[in-house]
Structure 1
Amino acid sequence: MAKLVIRLTPKAAHDRIDGWDVDENGRKILKVRVKAAPIEGRANAALLAFLAKELNLPKSRLTLLSGDTSRYKQVEVDGLSDEGLMAQIKTHQGET
């Protein structure tokens, strides 16, 4: 299982991946935007649905581990290694 740290921006014009960055702790983070507002978990649900679509996986294989109300989220992806996840995201980045 792969784990992914995400910086989520809700209420965007389009769902999209903005690319990789490094946070103040040196962790690699993926910047993602979703159209949904951060109300009643809608942005989190939109994030998981968008990532599942981008990774060509069922939504049931993605789990929000932490960051329910934070801009920074940790998502677990079942069925992909960390290397496989990185390769999938590089393949799809910028296509949305």
Structure 2
Amino acid sequence: MIKESKEGVILQIYVQPKANTNEIEGVDEWRGRLKVKIKAPPVEGKANKEVVKFFSKLLGAEASLIKGETSREKDLLIRGISIEEVKKKLKIYR
């Protein structure tokens, strides 16, 4: 779900588009991913942009999509923050 790499921290998420609010719902134990609700629809990359914006703001660091452009299972690369800081900031959602 959260891994460290040479480039930064990789966050594995499962996205539910067209939700009422942007929020982290919890951990999907079966997939081993963080469950995220996003308001944007999954058309023309709108949900992907919303996910990147949401995590950039939430973590106060640069986020970019590195895997899963057309899938609900996505990997985000978070730069400029340590894995410990990411875990601490996401703790409030567990």
Alignment TM class, shorter chain as reference: 0.7 to 0.9
Alpha-carbon distance, 1:56 to partner: 2.2
Instruction: Report the equivalent of 2:4.
Output: none
Give runs of ≥4 in structure 1 deviating > 4 Å: none
| CA shift in 2, pair 1:51/1:70, >3 Å | same
Question: What residue is the counterpart of 1:56 in the other structure?
Answer: 60
In the alignment, which of 39, 42, 66 is matched to residue 38 of structure 1? 42
- Alignment partners' CA distance in 2, 1:83 and 1:56: 14
Mapped pair 1:13 → 2:20: yes
- In 2, the alpha carbon distance for the partners of 1:84 and 1:23 equals 25
Number of corresponding residues: 87
- Return 72-81 or 14-23, whichever deviates more: 14-23
Q: CA deviation at 1:53?
A: 1.4
Any unmatched runs of 5+ in structure 2? Answer: 1-7
TM-score (norm 1): 0.82
Higher relative CO (Cα under 8 Å, sequence separation at least 6) belongs to: 1
Percent of aligned pairs with the same amino acid: 36
Aligned-CA RMSD value: 1.6
Structure 1 segments unaligned to the other structure (5+ residues): none
